[in-house]
């Protein structure tokens, strides 16, 4: 299917990494947090929840994604329009792949062969082939915001602000193969293994539920009333909630609310909000640990990260990070 277009080296030492010289032990868990108004990624011990070190990658680091093996981390950086490839064992930058424009949130296929990068102001989705270390396809899409993996190596999903929809990309043909309309500007979204899609929208304190196979929205879920958001990191009042994460078994959906400094747990089976946890100021993005024990939240206005114990539904740690943290990701080092 065609989507209308709205008009349209490797380096390491030069980045000045300030990382530890030790190599992570096999099985170690790490939490990576991008500092969007800084030039680094904070690395947190995923068990002790203490800062290990930082990785200098360049000003305005934006997105994070990783293949299922977790041996590499991909980070998008706005200032030099690049995709950084990071070794998660040593936290050293292995490669810098040039991009055509300023990147947003990326998505990697499970094998790590392809990474999709939306260029919001360039109206383009760039597909990077990591085996070739270069862009192999550029697909027009009006104001693309986020991309999410489809739990397989043959497709990937990307959202468009202007089209109020999420598009499926066939990675074999490098063409669009499906469209799910949402009725509003899509913010963060996630996709389950059985084809259920959850997405937040601009000006909506909650999320929508859609079916990928049926390519349609099923329902809207409204979170409890909240004050008007004054958070500056995600466009203030237009974005009352901005962060979704599924637990590994797809049974729970965790949702951030910038407007009331809380995160909510939505039970997928009962289709009800089952818990609420207070965190730091203006919680933006959210991630779950691979073993499902923890939920991490980037608090964009208090410059810290909240760690929630999933079983007790309690915040058990709050770790100081850099300036305006956003994307974050747990990785188990193999």
CATH number of the domain bearing residue 211: 2.130.10.10
| Integer Rg of the chain from CA | 18
Residue 207 lies in a domain: yes
Alpha carbons 246 and 292: distance in angstroms, whole number: 9
Residue 8 lies in a domain: no
In three state form, how does the secondary structure of 132-146 look?
CCEEEEEEECCCEEE
Dump pLDDT digits (tens) for 24-51: 666 789 999 999 999 999 999 999 999 9
What proportions of the chain, in percent to the nearest 5, are helix, strand and coil? 5, 50, 45
**pLDDT band at residue 59 using 50, 70 and 90 as cut-offs:** very high
Greatest alpha-carbon span in the chain:
52
Q: Which DSSP string corresponds to 29-49?
A: EEEEEEETTSSEEEEEETTT-
Residue 2 lies in a domain: no
**pLDDT at 232 (0 to 100):** 83
**pLDDT band at residue 8 using 50, 70 and 90 as cut-offs:** very low
Residue 5 lies in a domain: no
Q: How many CB atoms lie within 10 A of CB 263?
A: 25
pTM attached to this predicted model? 0.92
Alpha carbons 48 and 31: distance in angstroms, whole number: 11
Residue 3 lies in a domain: no
Residues 6+ apart with CB under 8 A from 40: 18, 54, 55, 56, 57, 61, 322
Token code pair at residue 46 = 């995923």
Containing structural domain, residue 134 = 13-332
52-63 mean pLDDT:
96
Dump pLDDT digits (tens) for 169-205: 999 999 999 999 999 999 999 999 999 999 999 999 9
Q: How many CB atoms lie within 10 A of CB 227?
A: 10
Residue 88 lies in a domain: yes
If one counts the domains in the chain, the total is 1
Residue 86 lies in a domain: yes
Token code pair at residue 193 = 């293994």
Token code pair at residue 227 = 């004050």
Dump pLDDT digits (tens) for 310-324: 999 999 999 999 999
């Amino acid at each position: 299917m065609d989507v209308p277009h709205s008009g349209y080296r490797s380096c390491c030492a030069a980045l000045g990494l300030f990382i530890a010289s030790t190599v992570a032990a096999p099985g170690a868990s790490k939490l990576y947090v991008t500092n969007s108004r800084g030039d680094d990624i904070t690395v947190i011990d995923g068990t002790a929840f203490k800062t290990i070190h930082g990785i200098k990658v360049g000003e305005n680091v934006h997105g994070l994604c990783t293949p299922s093996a977790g041996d590499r981390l991909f980070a998008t950086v706005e200032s030099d329009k690049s995709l950084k490839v990071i070794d998660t064992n040593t936290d050293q930058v292995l490669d810098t792949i040039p991009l055509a424009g300023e990147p947003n949130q990326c998505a990697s296929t499970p094998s790590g062969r392809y990474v999709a990068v939306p260029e919001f102001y360039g109206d383009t989705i760039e597909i990077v082939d990591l085996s070739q270390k270069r862009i192999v396809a550029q697909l027009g899409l009006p104001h693309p915001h986020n991309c999410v993996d489809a739990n397989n190596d043959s497709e990937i999903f990307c959202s468009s602000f202007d089209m109020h929809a999420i598009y499926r990309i066939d990675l074999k043909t490098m063409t669009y193969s499906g469209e799910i309309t949402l009725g509003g500007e899509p913010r963060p979204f996630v996709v389950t293994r059985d084809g259920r899609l959850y997405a937040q929208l601009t000006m909506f304190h909650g999320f929508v539920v859609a079916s990928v196979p049926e390519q349609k929205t099923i329902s809207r879920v409204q979170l409890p009333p909240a004050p008007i958001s004054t958070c500056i990191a995600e466009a203030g009042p237009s974005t009352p909630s901005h962060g979704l994460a599924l637990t590994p078994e797809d049974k729970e959906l965790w949702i951030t609310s910038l407007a009331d400094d809380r995160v909510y747990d939505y039970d997928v089976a009962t289709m009800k909000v089952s818990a609420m946890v207070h965190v730091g100021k203006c919680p933006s993005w959210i991630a779950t640990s691979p073993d499902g024990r923890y939920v991490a939240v980037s608090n964009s206005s208090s410059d810290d990260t909240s760690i929630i114990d999933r079983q007790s539904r309690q915040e058990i740690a709050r770790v100081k990070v850099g300036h305006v943290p956003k994307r974050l990701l747990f990785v188990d080092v193999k």
